[in-house]
């Protein structure tokens, strides 16, 4: 990243910087490993919805996983085919559902009986039929932050297996929707691959139950959740997709001609993005010193929201290392990126890189304190 320091010094901070070569290497790895088994990958747009990012992902033949009507429209704008778009989310509005139906998307991932009924009603009004997958709670606990686990019975997401008989009864009365698959997602930033092995075992049991009901499913959507290495982003810039997909190939028992789909987000874009910020002041405290930068949680909320860890580097300095609290300008005590960070000796106007911010970084920015929206720049010179 230091190779771009001259460029960074000409740009107004804070801004997001995307290493498009790294994104290419990541996408090549995803495609090679998924193609070994004929798996289908949908990129989770919620991780990063920037058009240059989406257009690059589309070039590799992936689909998208969307959780809003606007994400569906953004996917279409980026050139994804409607039949490659899955639409998930626990609270789809009527307008959003209509967008999916009118564009003949691949499938709605449905989370409740009322949602099934509403989708059927809207499809009938539009004179169309649409495909649905049932998002099921496998009740598999993922070893991740409590705010980003999603596959337990007490989570707001999905349908519990105890309710499935009633769901099937309702489905028989709905003539404008077709059940084509089942969908799972147990959480995000999962680094213990044994969690995915447990998911496979649970899916196998659920598949057996559907077969007992004489229901054949065209596809299984195993969700995503594969984590990235926030502690060592330079050494482990591309996640271990080989081991990830191999687990499903070895432990998930697909039926003949049944497709397996995934929805990967963070693992694809997380490492390619960094937040670049400038040091405004170095303030001496009683027992510590503060590097006050011009980015705040309005530009990267993950540390404040999830107590998330990001590697931080002063790419301007070659001075001896010292410890700092790296803090932002927002009028909130939670506006810090990390405390007691060891950085090269830091002074005013130094450029600080906050790494592994390509996922859930720019897409979650806000204008609290009337902050100016942050810009994005790309290493392949696409400035969109």
Which range has the worst mean pLDDT, 135-149, 338-352, 355-369? Answer: 135-149
* Common-topology check for domains 2-15+271-378 and 20-270: no
Tokens describing residue 299: 């530009």
**Cα separation of 352 and 341, whole Å?**
12
pTM of the model: 0.93
Per CATH, which fold does 2-15+271-378 belong to? Answer: Lyase, Ornithine Decarboxylase; Chain A, domain 1 (2.40.37)
What is the CATH topology of the domain spanning 20-270? TIM Barrel (3.20.20)
**pLDDT at site 151:** 39
Q: For 124-174, how does the pLDDT look when each residue is reduced to its tens digit (9 = 90+)?
A: 999 999 999 999 988 775 544 454 444 344 556 789 989 999 999 999 999
Amino acid 142: pLDDT:
52
Higher per-residue pLDDT: 244 or 146: 244
Tokens of 254: 């697909």
Q: Are 177 and 129 in contact (CB under 8 A)?
A: yes
Domain boundaries, the chain: 2-15+271-378, 20-270
Per residue in 33-68, pLDDT (tens digit) is 999 999 999 999 999 999 999 999 999 999 999 999
Lowest mean pLDDT across 2-11, 96-105, 374-383:
374-383
Question: What is 119-148 written as a DSSP string?
Answer: HHHHHHHTT--EEEEEEEE-----SS-GGG
Confidence of residue 381 (pLDDT cuts 50, 70, 90): confident
Q: DSSP per residue over 306-331, as a string?
A: H-----EEESS--SPEEEEEEE-SSS
């Amino acid at each position: 990243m230091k190779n771009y320091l001259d460029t960074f010094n000409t740009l107004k901070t804070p801004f997001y910087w995307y290493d498009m070569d790294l994104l290419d290497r990541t996408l090549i790895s995803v495609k090679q490993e998924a193609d070994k088994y004929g798996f289908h990958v949908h990129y989770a747009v919620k991780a990063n919805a920037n058009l240059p990012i989406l257009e690059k992902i589309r070039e590799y033949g992936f689909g998208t996983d969307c959780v809003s009507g606007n994400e569906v429209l953004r996917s279409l704008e980026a050139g994804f085919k409607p039949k490659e778009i899955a639409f998930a989310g626990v609270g789809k509005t009527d307008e959003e559902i209509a967008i999916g139906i009118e564009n003949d998307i691949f499938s709605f991932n449905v989370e409740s009986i009322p949602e099934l009924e509403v989708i059927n009603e809207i499809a009938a009004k539009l004179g169309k039929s649409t495909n649905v997958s049932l998002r099921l709670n496998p009740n598999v606990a993922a070893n991740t932050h409590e705010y980003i686990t999603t596959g337990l019975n007490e989570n707001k997401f999905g349908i519990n297996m105890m309710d499935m008989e009633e769901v099937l009864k309702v489905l028989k009365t709905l003539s404008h929707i077709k059940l084509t698959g089942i969908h799972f997602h147990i959480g995000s930033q999962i680094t213990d691959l044994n969690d995915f092995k447990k998911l496979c075992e649970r899916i196998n049991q659920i598949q057996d139950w559907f077969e007992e009901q004489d229901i054949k499913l065209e596809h299984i959507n195993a969700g995503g959740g594969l984590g990235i290495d926030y502690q060592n982003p330079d050494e482990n810039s591309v996640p271990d997709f080989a081991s990830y997909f191999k687990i499903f190939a070895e432990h998930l028992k697909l039926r003949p001609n049944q497709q397996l789909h995934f929805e990967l987000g963070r693992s694809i874009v997380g490492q390619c993005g960094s937040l670049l910020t400038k040091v405004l002041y170095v303030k001496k405290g009683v027992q510590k010193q503060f590097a006050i930068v011009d980015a705040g949680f309005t530009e990267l909320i993950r540390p404040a929201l999830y107590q998330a860890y990001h590697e931080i580097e002063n790419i301007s300095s070659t001075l001896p290392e010292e410890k700092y609290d790296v803090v932002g300008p927002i009028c909130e005590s939670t506006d810090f990126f990390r405390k007691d960070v060891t950085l090269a000796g830091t002074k005013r106007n130094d450029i600080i890189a906050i790494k592994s911010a390509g996922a859930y970084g720019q897409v979650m920015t806000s204008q609290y304190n009337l902050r100016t929206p942050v810009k994005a720049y790309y290493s392949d010179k696409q400035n969109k």
